[in-house]
Amino acid sequence: MNAERLPTAEDMRAYGARLAARLRPGDLVVLSGPLGAGKTTLVQGIAEGLKVRGPITSPTFVIARVHPSLRQGPPLVHADAYRLGGDLEVDDLDLDASLEESVTVVEWGEGLVEGLSEDRLEIHIDRETGDDARVVTLRGVGARWSGETA
Ligand code: ADP
Ligand code: MG
């Protein structure tokens, strides 16, 4: 468990870019937090760090989008599970990329992603009242994240 306070949206993107350096192909990152918390902003930072093709927007009409790497790195799969009711299964994503070879980030994935992987990095974003600051809390689940420190 690890918490960090991020005063601005730019800090959130920089945090995502730093986090990207620790992500490997096959990793699953699950983002939770209320509407406007900064989940998509964090994914923009991760995308920047991974050097994948953009832009990162909230997928309104599709559940997930694949952003190919601009280098030799893994593609970023960005999913928004907001409108999904049940468990998210790989088939639901209808991807032309394999999750084993990608870094997968799911917004609103809490409680929906158990079908995707037993290992996941859960990131919760909270708003502070009174200013723009957000508090990001990390929790690694499964063997992949045991012993990992932020
Ligand atoms: P979500 O995907 O969680 O609904 P978004 O990332 O789409 O949230 O929106 C967050 C909004 O809040 C953006 O307009 C962003 O610029 C703004 N913002 C202001 N301060 C911060 C901060 N410290 N961290 C993240 N976003 C922030
Ligand atoms: Mg969003």
Spell out the domain ranges in the chain: 2-143
Tens-place pLDDT, residues 82-138? 766 666 666 767 677 788 999 999 998 767 777 778 899 999 999 988 899 999 999
Burial of 24 per CB tally in 10 Å (0-12, 13-18, 19+) = exposed
Tens-place pLDDT, residues 1-55? 589 999 999 999 999 999 999 999 999 999 999 889 999 999 999 999 999 998 9
- Alpha-carbon gap, residue 28 to 116, rounded angstroms: 8
The residues facing 136 across adjacent strands are 4, 125
Tell me, using a 6 A CB cutoff, whether residue 111 lines ligand 1. no
pTM above 0.90, yes or no: yes
Distance 114 CA to ligand 2 centre (A): 20
Q: Kindly tell me if the per-residue pLDDT of 142 is higher than 80.
A: yes
Distance 148 CA to ligand 2 centre (A): 26
Evaluate whether the domain defined by 2-143 bears CATH number 3.40.50.300.
yes
* Nearest atom in ligand 1 to 31's CA: 3
CA angle 9–39–23, rounded 5-degree value: 100
Distance 12 CA to ligand 1 centre (A): 8
User: Which one, of 22, 49, 13, lies nearest residue 134 by Cα?
Assistant: 13
Residue of 10, 29, 41, 136 to test ligand 1 pocket, by largest number of atoms within 8 Å of CB: 41
Residue nearest to atom 24 of ligand 1 (CA): 9
Length of the chain: 150
Distance 132 CA to ligand 1 centre (A): 9
Predicted pLDDT at 83: 64
Q: Which residues of 128-145 are buried (b: 16+ CB within 10 A; e: fewer)?
A: eeeeeebebebebbeebb
Choose between 21 and 61: higher pLDDT. 21
The secondary structure of residue 140, as a DSSP letter, is E
Predicted pLDDT at 108: 81
